[in-house]
């Protein structure tokens, strides 16, 4: 087939499917983070007049038990470590385990975990078993989510570069959806238990939709063309070489040997592929290290200087931090569908990535409370909102560019492995950001 015979993506169906799959990769984790108040509420000890020295600890002036106070730290650890490990494993096992099993199997496991979580909302469980079950579920979600994300980026690497954009855009919408749900829950004054049940049922519906969308993907002519082109490339090269061997006489074997030596080998090492795309891989790692290092560990601790006990004090962080971040991040990710500047070989892309480090001190100098070492330089809420807009938009736009360009720096038959490598470095950035966030907060 020539380029002129490439089928069209009718009604942008493949683009929409990848958007839904992108939504399905991050929506589960975002809903878990959004429901943090529900989880910590379930970990509270029953009201009783007991000695707090054995069961409770003082944290920021509030009396909380050990499980409740350590929930966020342990949750982050149980999320990021499996995410990093399984994304790394996916870079190697994707050639041994069929893509269909990796994607559909991961989505199915995540669906089952969320169905169990929704059921447990209505079941009374003691704090310690509930804590253990929650951490096991977080490990499962992030382990299979890592395989799903890596496989999905690898699959998108086979298609044109623009088809990584809907995955990134869908992931951006996942955070926005969770933030809106949190604000709606605050506005309605609904009980935590009812809100959590609604969160988890909604997540189940979206994951089920993602499974159905993925199952219809192979029926799309546009998708079939690129899968067949990718799969037939190696076999076609082998057939051409066999034809040359048959046509050449014995004394003409030497040129054939040279030709075969110059041909790219069907199996290429991960390290060889990494050397071709290391700039993009390290760039996406740097982007998420800066982002997760400050959001939400530092940004969520900023207090409003404008509000004085009014509604804005209640909605300041949900709106200015979570909703604004996710909206602008989504806008940045989606912009790459129409604009992809700078190009994949431009020096400006890594330069812009490195410049994002400036956001770390900028947020530290906002009105983060409590603080002990640094002064407050940017007191007004407007400074914080302005920094958040630039911070989140640049995160979405630059990360999406890197994820689009990474697989395009290698040959077509290496694109799926390249996509898996990019997903690994994305997860590495998340893990490094989670680790450095404790240091950034302590410096304030």
Structure tokens at 275: 């050397």
- Tens digits of per-residue pLDDT, 64-123? 577 876 776 678 778 888 888 887 787 677 778 888 899 999 999 999 998 999 899 888
CA distance 22 to 16: 10
Structural domain includes residue 37:
yes
Structural domain includes residue 174:
yes
306 pLDDT tier (thresholds 50, 70, 90):
confident
190 pLDDT tier (thresholds 50, 70, 90):
low
More confident residue, 38 or 188: 38
Question: How many separate domains does the chain show?
Answer: 1
Task: Provide the domain limits for residue 404.
Answer: 10-46+56-231+261-442
Average pLDDT, the chain: 81
Dihedral pair phi/psi, residue 24, rounded to 5°: -70, -25
Whether the Cβ atoms of residue 257 and residue 323 lie closer than 8 Å to each other: no
Structural domain includes residue 249:
no
Q: What is the pLDDT of residue 390?
A: 97
Per-residue DSSP letters for 31-74? HHHHTHHHHHHHTSPPS----HHHHEEEETTEEEEHHHHHHHHH
Nearest to 423 by CA among 312, 288, 328: 288
Dihedral pair phi/psi, residue 418, rounded to 5°: -60, -40
| CATH number, domain with residue 79 | 1.20.1250.20
Count helices and strands in the chain by DSSP H and E runs: 17, 2
Q: What is the pLDDT of residue 254?
A: 41
Structural domain includes residue 4:
no
CA distance 33 to 137: 13
Structure tokens at 377: 């330089």
CA distance 416 to 336: 20
**pTM assigned to the model:** 0.71
Nearest to 400 by CA among 327, 325, 341, 346: 341
386 pLDDT tier (thresholds 50, 70, 90):
very high
Q: Which of the given ranges, 153-167, 235-249, 260-274, has the highest pLDDT on average?
A: 153-167
CA distance 142 to 32: 11
Structure tokens at 383: 């400074």
Asked if the model's pLDDT at residue 249 lies above 50, the reply is no
Structural domain includes residue 245:
no
Give me the residue label for tokens 């800066």.
290
Q: What is the pLDDT of residue 268?
A: 66
Q: What is the pLDDT of residue 78?
A: 84
Percentage with pLDDT > 90 across the chain: 27
Asked if the model's pLDDT at residue 434 lies above 90, the reply is no
Structure tokens at 192: 């935590």
Per-residue DSSP letters for 276-287? HHHHHHHHHHHH
Asked if the model's pLDDT at residue 357 lies above 50, the reply is yes
Structural domain includes residue 237:
no
Residue 444: Cβ within 10 Å count: 18
CA distance 409 to 273: 9
132: CB partners within 8 A, 6+ apart:
none
Q: What is the pLDDT of residue 324?
A: 93
CA distance 390 to 163: 25
Q: In the predicted model, what is the mean pLDDT of residues 245-267?
A: 44
Cis upstream peptide for 343 (omega within 30°): no
Q: What is the pLDDT of residue 150?
A: 82
Nearest to 87 by CA among 127, 128, 147, 37: 147
263 pLDDT tier (thresholds 50, 70, 90):
very low
Q: Among 25-29, 66-70, 268-272, 335-339, where is mean pLDDT lowest?
A: 66-70
Q: What is the pLDDT of residue 383?
A: 95
Asked if the model's pLDDT at residue 433 lies above 70, the reply is yes
Percentage with pLDDT > 70 across the chain: 83
Q: What is the pLDDT of residue 45?
A: 65
Q: In the predicted model, what is the mean pLDDT of residues 178-195?
A: 74
Q: What is the pLDDT of residue 91?
A: 67
Asked if the model's pLDDT at residue 253 lies above 80, the reply is no
Q: What is the pLDDT of residue 112?
A: 95
Q: What is the pLDDT of residue 38?
A: 81
Structural domain includes residue 247:
no
Q: What is the pLDDT of residue 79?
A: 83
Q: What is the pLDDT of residue 258?
A: 42
Structural domain includes residue 383:
yes
Q: What is the pLDDT of residue 46?
A: 61
SS3 label, residue 200:
helix
Q: In the predicted model, what is the mean pLDDT of residues 397-425?
A: 86
Whether the Cβ atoms of residue 284 and residue 351 lie closer than 8 Å to each other: no
H/E stretch holding 425 reads helix 415-442
Asked if the model's pLDDT at residue 412 lies above 90, the reply is no
CA distance 39 to 180: 19
């Amino acid at each position: 087939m020539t380029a002129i015979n490439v089928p069209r993506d009718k009604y942008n169906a493949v683009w929409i499917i990848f958007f839904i799959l992108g939504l399905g990769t991050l929506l589960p984790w975002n809903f878990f983070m959004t429901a943090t108040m529900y989880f910590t509420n379930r970990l509270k000890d029953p009201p009783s007049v007991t000695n707090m020295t054995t069961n409770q600890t003082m944290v920021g002036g509030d009396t909380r038990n050990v499980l409740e106070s350590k929930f966020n730290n342990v949750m982050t650890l149980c999320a990021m470590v499996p995410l990093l490990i399984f994304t790394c494993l996916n870079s190697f096992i994707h050639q041994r385990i069929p893509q269909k099993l990796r994607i559909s199997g991961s989505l199915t496991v995540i669906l089952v975990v969320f169905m169990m979580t929704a059921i447990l909302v209505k079941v009374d469980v003691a704090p310690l078993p509930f804590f253990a079950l929650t951490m096991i579920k977080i490990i499962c979600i992030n382990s299979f989510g890592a395989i799903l994300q890596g496989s999905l980026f690898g699959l998108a690497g086979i298609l044109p570069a623009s088809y990584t954009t809907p995955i990134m855009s869908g992931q951006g919408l996942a955070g926005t959806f969770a933030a809106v749900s949190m604000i709606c829950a605050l506005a309605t004054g609904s009980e935590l238990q009812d809100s959590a049940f609604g969160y988890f049922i909604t997540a189940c519906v979206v994951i089920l939709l993602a499974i159905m969308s993925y199952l219809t993907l192979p029926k799309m002519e546009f998708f079939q063309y690129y899968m067949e082109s990718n799969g037939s490339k190696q076999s076609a090269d082998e057939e051409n070489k066999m034809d040359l061997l048959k046509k050449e006489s014995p004394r003409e074997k030497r040129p054939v040997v040279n030709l075969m030596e110059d041909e790219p080998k069907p199996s290429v090492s991960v390290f060889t592929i990494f050397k071709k795309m290391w700039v993009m891989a390290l760039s996406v790692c740097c982007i998420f290290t800066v982002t997760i290092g400050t959001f939400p560990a530092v940004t969520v601790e900023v207090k409003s200087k404008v509000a004085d006990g009014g509604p804005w004090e209640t909605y300041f962080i949900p709106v200015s931090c979570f909703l604004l971040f996710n909206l602008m991040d989504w806008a940045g990710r989606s912009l790459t569908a129409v604009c992809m500047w700078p190009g994949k070989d431009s020096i400006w892309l890594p330069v812009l990535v490195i410049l994002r480090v400036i956001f770390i001190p900028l947020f530290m100098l906002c009105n983060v409370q409590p603080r002990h070492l640094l002064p407050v330089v940017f007191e007004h809420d407007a400074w914080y909102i302005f920094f958040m807009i630039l911070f989140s938009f640049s995160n979405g736009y630059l990360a999406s560019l890197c994820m689009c360009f990474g697989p395009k720096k290698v040959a077509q038959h290496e694109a799926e492995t390249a996509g898996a490598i990019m997903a690994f470095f994305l997860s590495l950035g998340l893990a490094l950001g989670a680790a450095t966030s404790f240091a950034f907060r302590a410096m304030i």
